Chains A and B, each alone.
Chain A
C-alpha cells in the first residue's frame, strides 16, 4: 500500500467516526463500518469499478450493493471520497430532514444502489442486477458486500445457488469476514470460523485476501474467474479496524465511545479537538 493509500483509508475512518459523532443522541455501527474501509477504497478508488460521479445513474456503470447495510457510514464516506457528493452532506447524518440514516436508502443519495438494512437481501438483489445486465448484453459488473454474521440468513444461500446456476460471472461477492457479530464471535454462535469452503462447494470461484491490504484486494478483484462462475472474495478483516480499543471486540457492535475512551479513539484516528467540535456545529 502506498503512503497515499494509507492516508486515504485513514481519512475514510476519520470521516466515518466524525459522521457518527455528529449525531449526539445515539450510537452507530462503527466497528462494522471500519472493517470494510479498504474493501470500499479499493473498489472505488483503485480502478476496479467503472462509474461517473457526475452522472451517478449512468446505465452502463458498475454497481456496489452494501448488503450488510448497517455499515452505511463506510459507504457514505467512500462515495464522498469518490466524488458523488461533498463532505457537508455527511454532516446531515440522522438530522431531521436528512437523507443519511444508518442504513442506506436507494437513490436517496447518488451512488446508493439499494435500500438495505435487513440482512440477506443484497446478494439476491445483486443477482437480479447481474442477470439483467447479461440479458441486455451489457459489460457492467455487480459487487455485493456481505457479512459473516449475515451468512446465517438463508437467502444468502438461495442467492449462492442461483448465481452459479445462472452463470453470473459478472457478479463478485465480497465477504467481510471479521469473525464477529453482535452477541459474540461467529464461531461461537453458528459454529463457522471460515466460510470459504462453503462457497467453493456451491460452485463459486473463491479468492481469499487480507481485507486490509489494498494491493491484495486489488489482485483478488482483477483476477479472472472461469467463465460462468461468480466470484467470492473472502476478505479476512478485523471488526473495528483502526481503533485499538474496538478491534476484535464484540462489545463495540453498536456504541459510541465514552468520554474516558475518546482520547484513545481520537489518537488512533488522528482527529484533533477542532475537527471534533466542528462536526457538532449546527448546520
Chain B
C-alpha cells in the first residue's frame, strides 16, 4: 500500500505544484522519486510529528496541499491534539497518512500498532477518515483526499496486501461497498483485514451460512444507510477490525443499528479491550490475536450457535 500511496502522490504532485510530500524521518522507500524529481515539493521534518502537523496547517493556510506520512501511531496518538486543534478546528486542507494500520507493523510490538486510532479520530469534527483495504483502494482514496478541501486521515497498511478489486472498481467516498454477496449474515470490515474476512466468508459458506461481506472504507462520514440496508437484509450482523472493539468500526455500526431500532443482533470481532500480543508476520500476529480467517469464521459460527437460532434455511 505504501507504494500505491507514493505513486499516486507523485502523480498528484506532478500536476499540482502546491502538493507537498512531508515525512518525519520515516519514508516509504519510494521517496527517492520526490527527492530526485520534485525536491521543491518534499520535506522531512525529522522525528517531530506534532510540529509536522502544526507546520502543515500553516502551509495549508497559504494554499499548499500537504500530505503527511509516518507511522499512524505517532499521528493518532502523539499528534492527536495537533490534528484536532490545527487541522480539524481550523478546517485545514491537509491529508494525514498514517501507515501501519492495525497490526501491520507486526514486529515492533504495540507501540507501533494503531488499535485505538479509529475510536479517537472518529470523534473529530470536520475530519474525513478513510481506511483502504487494498492498493487500488489506496489510489482511489488518495484521489478523493486530494479533492476534499479539509482535513483527511488515511489509515494505511504497509505492503503485500492482496488486491481485492478489479481495475474498474467504482469507488465512491462515503459509500460502503459489497465485496461478497450473502443472505444470512452481514460481515462489515475495514482495512486490509477484508482479505481475512473474505476467507472467513468462504469457510462459512461451506457450513451453509451465506455471508455478505461489506467493506466500510470510509469511517467518516459513515455510510449509515448502507449499513442499515445490509443489516435489514440479513439476520445477524458482525464486524471485524484490527482495532479495539471499543469505539471503532463495531461501535460505529452499533450506533447506527441501535439508533434505528432495527433489532438485529451485533457481534463485534476485534481486540477485546486489550493490546495485541506477539511479534512476527502480519499473518501470524493476526492468528495470535484471533483475527485470521479461520478464527473469524470460528467465532462467527460460535456466536450463531450460542444464539440457538437457525440462520440456515
**Contact partners of B69 in chain A: CB under 8 A:** none
| Given A115-B85, A155-B51, A162-B51, residue A131 in contact with residue B58 (CB < 8 A) | yes
Q: Tell me, in angstroms, the Cα distance from A105 to B43 when the chains sit together.
A: 28
A162 close to B58 (CB less than 8 A): no
A124 close to B59 (CB less than 8 A): no
B90 close to A114 (CB less than 8 A): yes
How far apart are B79's CB and chain A's nearest CB, in angstroms?
10
| Given A118-B81, A158-B48, residue A124 in contact with residue B54 (CB < 8 A) | yes
B85 close to A162 (CB less than 8 A): no
A129 close to B90 (CB less than 8 A): no
B64 close to A124 (CB less than 8 A): no
**Interface: B34 (CB within 8 A):** no
19 contacts between A and B (CB under 8 A): A105-B89, A121-B54, A121-B82, A124-B55, A125-B86, A126-B58, A127-B55, A128-B58, A129-B58, A132-B64, A154-B50, A155-B48, A158-B50, A159-B51, A159-B54, A162-B51, A162-B55, A165-B46, A166-B43
| Given A155-B50, A159-B51, residue A125 in contact with residue B57 (CB < 8 A) | yes
B86 close to A162 (CB less than 8 A): no
**Interface: A262 (CB within 8 A):** no
A128 close to B56 (CB less than 8 A): yes
Q: Tell me, in angstroms, the Cα distance from A155 to B52 when the chains sit together.
A: 10
| Given A124-B50, A135-B40, residue A106 in contact with residue B56 (CB < 8 A) | no
How far apart are B260's CB and chain A's nearest CB, in angstroms?
34
| Given A114-B90, A161-B48, residue A131 in contact with residue B55 (CB < 8 A) | yes
Beta-carbon nearest neighbor of B40 in chain A: A135
**Contact partners of B45 in chain A: CB under 8 A:** 162
**Contact partners of A162 in chain B: CB under 8 A:** 45-46, 48, 51, 55
| Given A118-B85, A125-B86, A128-B56, residue A158 in contact with residue B51 (CB < 8 A) | yes
A133 close to B62 (CB less than 8 A): yes
Residue-wise interface mask of A (43-79) relative to B, using a CB-CB cutoff of 8 A (1 in contact, 0 not): 0000000000000000000000000000000000000
**Interface: A136 (CB within 8 A):** yes
Within the complex, which residue of A106, A158, A165 is in contact with B90, where a contact is CB–CB below 8 Å?
A106
Known A115-B86, A118-B85, A127-B58; further 6 A-B contacts with Cβ < 8 A? A114-B58, A125-B55, A125-B58, A128-B57, A159-B54, A162-B46
Q: Tell me, in angstroms, the Cα distance from A107 to B40 when the chains sit together.
A: 29
**Interface: B120 (CB within 8 A):** no
How far apart are B127's CB and chain A's nearest CB, in angstroms?
16
A161 close to B46 (CB less than 8 A): yes
| Given A115-B89, A121-B86, A162-B46, residue A129 in contact with residue B61 (CB < 8 A) | yes
**Interface: B63 (CB within 8 A):** yes
Beta-carbon nearest neighbor of B84 in chain A: A118
Q: Tell me, in angstroms, the Cα distance from A154 to B58 when the chains sit together.
A: 18
**Contact partners of A120 in chain B: CB under 8 A:** 50
Q: Tell me, in angstroms, the Cα distance from A159 to B86 when the chains sit together.
A: 15
Instruction: Report, as a range, how many residues of chain B touch the other chain.
Output: 20 to 34
> Which residue among A130, A135, A162 has the maximum number of chain B CB atoms within 10 Å of its CB?
A135
Per the 8 Å Cβ criterion, residues 125-173 of A in contact with B are 125-133, 135-136, 154-155, 158-159, 161-162, 165-166
Within the complex, which residue of A125, A133, A165 is in contact with B54, where a contact is CB–CB below 8 Å?
A125
**Contact partners of A126 in chain B: CB under 8 A:** 58
Q: Tell me, in angstroms, the Cα distance from A114 to B85 when the chains sit together.
A: 10
How far apart are A65's CB and chain B's nearest CB, in angstroms?
8
**Contact partners of A38 in chain B: CB under 8 A:** none
A128 close to B46 (CB less than 8 A): no
Within the complex, which residue of A106, A128, A154 is in contact with B55, where a contact is CB–CB below 8 Å?
A128
Q: Tell me, in angstroms, the Cα distance from A118 to B80 when the chains sit together.
A: 13
Within the complex, which residue of B40, B58, B61 is in contact with A124, where a contact is CB–CB below 8 Å?
B58
B48 close to A121 (CB less than 8 A): no
**Interface: A113 (CB within 8 A):** yes
A128 close to B81 (CB less than 8 A): no
Q: Tell me, in angstroms, the Cα distance from A105 to B51 when the chains sit together.
A: 19
**Contact partners of B64 in chain A: CB under 8 A:** 132, 135
Beta-carbon nearest neighbor of A154 in chain B: B50
| Given A106-B90, A158-B48, A158-B51, residue A132 in contact with residue B59 (CB < 8 A) | yes
Residue-wise interface mask of A (107-122) relative to B, using a CB-CB cutoff of 8 A (1 in contact, 0 not): 1000001110110111
**Contact partners of B57 in chain A: CB under 8 A:** 125, 128
B55 close to A115 (CB less than 8 A): no
A124 close to B51 (CB less than 8 A): yes
A129 close to B51 (CB less than 8 A): no
How far apart are B263's CB and chain A's nearest CB, in angstroms?
42
Q: Tell me, in angstroms, the Cα distance from A133 to B50 when the chains sit together.
A: 21
Q: Tell me, in angstroms, the Cα distance from A122 to B58 when the chains sit together.
A: 9
Q: Tell me, in angstroms, the Cα distance from A59 to B50 when the chains sit together.
A: 26
Within the complex, which residue of A107, A117, A127 is in contact with B51, where a contact is CB–CB below 8 Å?
A127
**Contact partners of B81 in chain A: CB under 8 A:** 118
The 8 closest A-B pairs by CB, nearest first: A128-B58, A124-B54, A132-B62, A158-B51, A128-B55, A158-B48, A125-B58, A129-B58
